Structure 1
Amino acid sequence: MRQDIDQLHVKGSVLVIKNGKTLLKYATANKTDTSYLINSVQKSMTAAMVMQEVQKKKLKLSDKLKKFYPDVEGSSSVTIANLLDMTSGLDIASGEYLGTTKFVSEHDNMQSNIKKTVFDKAMLGKWHYTSLNYVYLCGILSKLENKDYEEIFRKTYIDKLNLKHTEFLWADKKKLQESHWVPGYEKKDGKYVKVSYKDAVRDAHNELGAGSIVMSNDDLAKSIRYILNGSILTANSRKILFKGEAPSYYNGGLYNLKDYESANGAGEGYYTFMRSTRDGKDMIIIQANHTAEGKFSKIKKKVNHIMSMMMQF
């Protein structure tokens, strides 16, 4: 298995867990406790926090977006379940972008998104991937708890699980260093170029709840196990969140494949690949801070193959 993983030629950290025990833990670059921007893998954590609100009876999956953001086009038709499953029919208008060019506050970002959101009624109930869905879920969480998303996330994951190498990308320099964070690099004209930290932080704010957290492999594994098999959700809540209706393969921030759960992150010079059985006992996590155009999809398919092989022994 190590040979197969090494042939991926990723510059980063590897963690493989089998039957709840560490099988492989090593680094091809950096260290085993290095933290990386996990990008879209964060969506599963946001989804679990939303489901907690359902458990508290503060929220219903059938609630309409209009209840929280009545000025959003199509909000009277879109449900919380649609947002979780990426079947809302919402998107940012063509030629526009998520968030703002310069971060001022979550409120300003949300107001900007509201103005730029368009609704395609024909796409309601059909899968279309856009982080906008999860940004709205973050806003709903903040309204329900009367707290910023960051504060809710810290209490739910960082504090609860005593995560040592997890931080928001926009944290002060000392906190980032303590999390063992490394900058991201993108390959351009045959050379790896460091991604602008300022630009990455702006994008992280714009992707609130969907791409703003840096994590080590151990912390990510602990968080995924907590979501799949811990006390954050009841068994029934997990069944609803991860076994929802169309499309059946994507629910609650995870791709619910036939034999395991999958999540991937890419952007700002980082890759994150997470594969886990539904009980969280078998898991592969591979993270890197050197990326190149055209490599993500190829690596993703190979990681799927490695996970399938691991489950056979």
Structure 2
Amino acid sequence: MSDALAKFKAGMPKEVIDAMKQEFKDNYDTNKDGTVSCAELAKLMDCPEEEAQRIITGVDVNCDGRMQFDEFLLYMEGSTKVDLYSSDEIKKMFDDLDKDGNGRISPDELSKGVGEISTKLVECMANKLIQEADKDGDGHVNMEEFFDTLVAKLPLRKDFGMTEKLLERFKKCFHEDFDKNGDGSLTTLEMGQLLNRNLPGRYSEEQINKMISRVDLNDDGRVQFGEFLMHAQNLSKDDIKNQFMAIDKDKNGKISPEEMVTGIKEIYACMVDSEVAKLIKEVDRDDSGCVDIREFRRLLLVLIPFMN
């Protein structure tokens, strides 16, 4: 718990804290794991998960995507994590980022001017990727999990620029235009229709099978969405294996959280710039491409955990 949050809690009467702790246990923490997830809050409040996530983000001091009890206190008091800091402290944070002193934080200042923020962003992204891919719950990612999940998550070619918008376009193309039977994969026939749509007969069935084999990570003779992305980026399953091995530094067949952090820094550095650009876009009300002191308070909802 941050010093600022500890100070906030210390200023509350003990009987109030005890009452809220009981409320937290009885009505919010439904699975009794000591935290409130986005799904738990959405169900409790009967609201969309996007709204629940907005609430959690506002008090998520440790940036774990969940609401701890001390963060719950903030929420119940109608405060956010930004309210933990004085105006002078916020101004100092802004000035520390505003390297050229022009009253605005540029994307370059945010991504390059503060190494510790970039490092924390990478760590958060790496931990999130590990959680999404780790199907067996061992805290690591093996090659099968890497194939199944991270092919669609990581920018496997640094020169390709897989933006969120482009990824959504590929998903729509895959599911609406080519996966005709809606089973989540492309057969030889469906792949042939995709490849031959402009020039019928250009590719033979044998050629199409070779193309499928080139990206068929699980060797089922079909093309799943992640493999479809590989085809779009002109990548083969050998390329993916090489990517996995490049991240797996100790060559034990599993990627640890620490290895994922190093791997992103070395191979997927563009993810940091993409994340920074997304942060600025979310708070940039005047479309200047930068963040002024008024917009900075909204940016702090995300940055505070990285600045403590």
Using the size of structure 2 for normalisation, the TM-score is 0.22
Using the size of structure 1 for normalisation, the TM-score is 0.22
Larger Rg belongs to: 2
Which of the pair is proportionally richer in strand?
A: 1
Which of the pair is proportionally richer in helix?
A: 2
